[in-house]
Amino acid sequence: MYNLVIFLYLCGVAIASLFNEKVRKMWHGERQAIRTIKEKIDPTAQYVWFHAASLGEFEQGRPLMEQLRRDHPEYKILLTFFSPSGYEVRKNYEGADIICYLPLDTIINARRFLRTIRPVMAFFIKYEFWYNYLHILRHRGIPVYSVSSIFRPGQVFFRWYGRQYSHVLKCFSHFYVQNEISRELLATIGIKDVTVVGDTRFDRVLQIKAAAKQLPIVEQLKGSAKCFIAGSSWQPDEEIFIPWLNEHPDWKVVIAPHVIGEDHLRQIEKMLEGRKVLRYTAAEKMFKEQCSTFDDYDVLLIDCFGLLSSIYRYADVTYVGGGFGVGIHNTLEAAVWDVPVIFGPNNQRFQEAQGLKACGAGLEIASADDFRRYMQGFVDEPSLAGELGEKAGAFVQQMTGATEKILSDVHF
């Protein structure tokens, strides 16, 4: 049944690639993967294989790859992606020796792939459970580890109709899971090789913080004023926080929308009625030309990528978007800077958000009224944001260490 589903999926992808550029990139990349490996492989080297579905999973695996390279330079690293949103962004990542798409999980593809690379071990990050790859890895006696994985009762493995498919989990040599609930769920289907280590993303955000850039444009705009920073925002988020900010011009504002398109940027500018808005790319030009006019602006609209994790350092209060849609974005990149984080209601699947809420540093809102109440609290009690921010930073620090726990346990 699984292989039939994969075959039908393969046919669907082939057809969709004729009409969708993103799917076309994935289809082409998967078909070229074996050729890419053959061209780049060092036949004398031993490879450790890391597989990430997309960009978020890559960030969870990155601390492991970089620590492995430092501690065990005798190994080379193969990094594969399933999604173009991961591969296209990180195809030039210097921490891996070979980077390519993972060919779709057919028996033929899995055999060719593993025969070509011959990994000494494999790490599958978070949610990746490819049936044919995993069974062939087990058959060949290659250790395979699931890292930063997290399980919930509603997943197919724990339903009566998914018990047959759950056997795929027994192909893993060991699970390094995020929480105790995951360990208990795996035990119900007879899987005992499980260690609760937490989430490697906490280690990653500390790395990101250490490598953060100084951004003089943001620093000058902020000055001595209170600064509100919204990251990865969508229209429903902006419709909640912008009206309050329009009523409080004493707050400086930085908005980094998730979608950086001209229509969306103009929409945000229109909503910021009465505020003096400057786009970041225009500010860069002014800065290079030594135009000292940032005092004339009080809102900075980020119209480029790669700055958000560094921008958060200038915040007094942060807002992370996505909570009124498919789910919140990365709250840890904000919390690591010792600032409180506000986000929408769709956060139940995000353990880090639950942790931030539990310690009081993550503030969930369901409406504009909730947002106004929290922000008014920060206005009425100026020290409150700093107090909650300290809790946010402490929470991140307490949850670090998963990378070291995993690599100290794996036998190289």
Convert 48-108 into a string of H (helix), E (strand) and C (coil). EEEEECCHHHHHHHHHHHHHHHHHCCCEEEEEEECCHHHHHHHCCCCCCCEEEECCCCCHH
Q: Is the pLDDT of residue 21 over 70?
A: no
Q: Is the pLDDT of residue 154 over 80?
A: yes
Q: Is the pLDDT of residue 20 over 80?
A: no
Instruction: Give every strand in the sheet of 121-125, ordered side by side.
Output: 98-101, 75-81, 46-52, 121-125, 144-149, 174-177, 194-196
Q: Which tens digit of pLDDT belongs to each residue from 97-117?
A: 999 999 888 898 999 999 999
Q: Is the pLDDT of residue 318 over 90?
A: yes
Tell me what pLDDT residue 161 has: 84
Tell me what pLDDT residue 34 has: 84
Q: Is the pLDDT of residue 176 over 80?
A: yes
Cα separations (Å) of 221 from 177, 210, 251, 290, 400? 42, 23, 11, 14, 33
Report percent pLDDT > 90 for the chain: 76
In the structure, what pLDDT confidence band is assigned to residue 19 with cuts at 50, 70 and 90?
low
Report percent pLDDT > 70 for the chain: 92
Tell me what pLDDT residue 287 has: 84
SS3 letters for 342-394?
A: EECCCCCCCHHHHHHHHHCCEEECCCHHHHHHHHHHHHHCCCHHHHHHHHHHH
Q: Average pLDDT in the 197-220 region?
A: 94
Q: Is the pLDDT of residue 89 over 80?
A: yes
Q: Is the pLDDT of residue 175 over 60?
A: yes
Q: Which tens digit of pLDDT belongs to each residue from 209-266?
A: 999 999 999 999 999 999 999 999 999 999 999 999 999 999 999 999 999 999 999 9
Residue 170 dihedral angles phi and psi, to the nearest 5°: -75, -5
Q: Is the pLDDT of residue 402 over 60?
A: yes
Q: Which amino acid is at 334?
A: A
In angstroms, rounded to a whole number, what is the distance separating the alpha carbons of residues 325 and 346?
7
In angstroms, rounded to a whole number, what is the distance separating the alpha carbons of residues 58 and 372?
36
Q: Is the pLDDT of residue 14 over 60?
A: no
Q: Is the pLDDT of residue 201 over 80?
A: yes
Tell me what pLDDT residue 33 has: 81
Q: Is the pLDDT of residue 5 over 90?
A: no
Q: Which tens digit of pLDDT belongs to each residue from 324-381?
A: 998 999 999 999 999 999 999 999 989 999 999 999 999 999 999 999 999 999 999 9
What's the mean pLDDT when you consider all of the chain? Answer: 91
Cα separations (Å) of 237 from 175, 228, 234, 258, 314? 36, 14, 5, 11, 20
In angstroms, rounded to a whole number, what is the distance separating the alpha carbons of residues 259 and 278?
17
Tell me what pLDDT residue 331 has: 97
In the structure, what pLDDT confidence band is assigned to residue 160 with cuts at 50, 70 and 90?
confident
Q: Is the pLDDT of residue 409 over 90?
A: yes
Tell me what pLDDT residue 301 has: 97
Q: Is the pLDDT of residue 86 over 90?
A: no
Q: Average pLDDT in the 161-168 region?
A: 85
Q: Which tens digit of pLDDT belongs to each residue from 269-298?
A: 999 988 999 999 999 988 887 766 677 899
User: DSSP characters for 223-241?
Assistant: TTS-EEEEEEE-HHHHHHH
